[in-house]
Amino acid sequence: MAAVVARGPRRGPECPVPTTLIATGGTISWHAGQGRMLGGAELLVAAGTRADEVVDAHAAPSWDLTIEDMVGLARLVRRTISDGATCVTVTHGTDTLEETAWLTELLLGAELRHRASVLFTGAMRASGASESDGPSNLAFALDVGRRPGLVGAGVLVAWGGQLFAARSVHKVDAEALLPFVGRVWPHDRREPPEPGDVVETGVALVKANPIARGRLPSDAVGVVLEGTGAGHVPSSYVPAVDALLAAGVPVVLASRCQNAPRDADRERGVLRAGDLSAEKAAIALMVGLGRHPRLESLRPWWSDLTAGPGA
């Protein structure tokens, strides 16, 4: 991921801890009047705040980001913390903010997670609009991110004066100023298991339905199958699932509903997504396979990931 870095003084009077802003694209950056994406320095001016370092990275609408773009951004956050930042704020479009935030949470690892606060934020109204929410969201994210209590909290989404855990945050409204729902921090502070050095992007996500007639990709390294209710899928999928499992290809069963079962389906050998959406389960499977490419070694890692609070 190409990035342009502008550095200011490391510890100014307004930045008691080393602070970095990573600006991507999205509504928070888009200035309709000027017909362009604003850079991070311009966003800081609009928000009336500052950072020690500004990184402009891949300014694009978030719906246009690829999984490779998201991996690059997550690794940029890792490098930024390794270089000494203890507060990292990322501006991002809302459409896929939850996926990039979750991937970043998974890839941080325990050591870096406990060295810095990481917050994602954005806007529902474009920059330059009379009632743009971007400046207030960015100022809030930077303000709370500098507080010592957020170091080690994992990746959070800072929005409208609230903090949501990356694991559970979900965009549910395409117009409301508060488009997200999720567990409000510090509720449920689970830490994911350690990642590997590779993200295996050859994972397929399939929405089970009668129209697809039970077909699953045979060339994927892993498959997430989104079912209904408690993860129910039509019986037409069973032969394809069994064939993948017999070949050592992990199959994760997710649900379009909340509060799906967490335990593995011991009869079939599939993994359960638990509280993860199908999209977040697919991202987690990519990370898990990067560390444990074989199904049997992946199972304990996946069990740790999907264990309930206090498990």
Q: Is 25 helix (H, G, I), strand (E, B) or coil?
A: coil
Q: Is 175 exposed, middle or buried (0-12, 13-18, 19+ CB in 10 A)?
A: exposed
The fold adopted by the segment(s) 3-181 is Rossmann fold (3.40.50)
Q: Which residue spans of the chain are classified as CATH 3.40.50.40?
A: 203-306
Q: Looking at residue 263, what is its pLDDT?
A: 67
Q: What is the pTM of this model?
A: 0.92
Helix spans in the chain (H): 40-47, 67-82, 97-113, 134-145, 238-246, 278-291, 295-306
271-272 vs 30-31, strand pairing mode: unpaired
3-class DSSP state of 281:
helix
User: What are the pLDDT digits (tens) for 165-175?
Assistant: 999 999 999 99
| pLDDT single digits (tens) 131-161 | 899 999 999 999 999 998 899 999 999 999 9
73-130 pLDDT per residue, tens: 999 999 999 999 999 999 999 999 999 999 999 999 999 999 999 999 999 999 988 8
- Phi/psi class of residue 94: alpha, beta or left (left: φ > 0; alpha: ψ in -120 to 50)? alpha
Which residues make up the CATH 3.40.50.1170 domain(s) of the chain?
3-181
CATH architecture of residue range(s) 203-306: 3-Layer(aba) Sandwich (3.40)
